Amino acid sequence: MTIECLTSNKMFGGWHKQYSHQASSLNCSMRFAIFLPPQASSSNKVPVLYWLSGLTCTDENVMQKSGIQRIAAELGMAIVAPDTSPRGEGVADDDDYDLGQGAGFYLNASQAPWNRHYQMYDYIVDELPALIEATFPVSNKRAIAGHSMGGHGALTIALKNPELYCSVSAFSPISNPINCPWGQKAFSAYLGDDKDLWRDHDASELMRRVKQFVPARVDQGEADNFLEEQLKPDALLSAAKSNGYPLELNRHEGYDHSYYFISSFIEEQLRFHAQYLSR
């Protein structure tokens, strides 16, 4: 598979690079970013944290705003940040920010016109990790994390694939999308009216019934203006308690939905993952 390096910048002794490649699962060209810590080499393959961003974001948000590279360099952890959806001419889109390009919701769309390109679940779970592990000095030890829509993606993907991930974390995740406006709009468009399909992409529904547990941490700002209507962390906590799931839910007074919040606690999340990736 051919990939093209778009940018390359040295950071904290490692390298941040952006690449583009033709994604077969999405039928379009995709961009991703990777940070390789200074410890990474052909003789020392490092574990990987996959970061899934939120609505309207790209690979650049976490890499430019969070400060994630400093602590990843210390811990010897690679960071991979894919884009949030397929993009380009001929890729279905919508005028609203919460549907279409920039709003893939990390699922496989079954409804036209979205189903031709919007297969983000397959891309994140299968195609992208295969490309990363074949191209860069990284191991198959994976963790997954994300923010908002990406927090939804990280949680659901880890819960559905516990054998693939050592740990999962999320900032301000859409925790119960079948019961919030963002989720209902996206799931109706991408998945149609079958609510059983919806439940398979809802972290609260999944956490209530899974049998194999992935260590999970969620950080939520209490001043988040999307907290009550869209995010619903209490539904996730209730589901975890009902199933005995070891969810660590941290509430932070005064913090909002922004990268100011993420940058304040990104180090704690990376150290959370490091303890499981090093086992």
Active-site positions? 148, 224, 257
* β partners of residue 108: 119
- Which residue bears the tokens 């992935």? 214
Check: CB of residue 46 under 8 Å from CB of residue 137. yes
Token code pair at residue 236: 């996730």
Check: CB of residue 139 under 8 Å from CB of residue 46. yes
Backbone angles phi, psi at 36, to 5 degrees: -105, 120
Backbone angles phi, psi at 246, to 5 degrees: -80, 70
CA-nearest of 218, 225, 188 to 99 is 188
Whole-number Å distance between alpha carbons of 1 and 250:
41
Check: CB of residue 65 under 8 Å from CB of residue 160. no
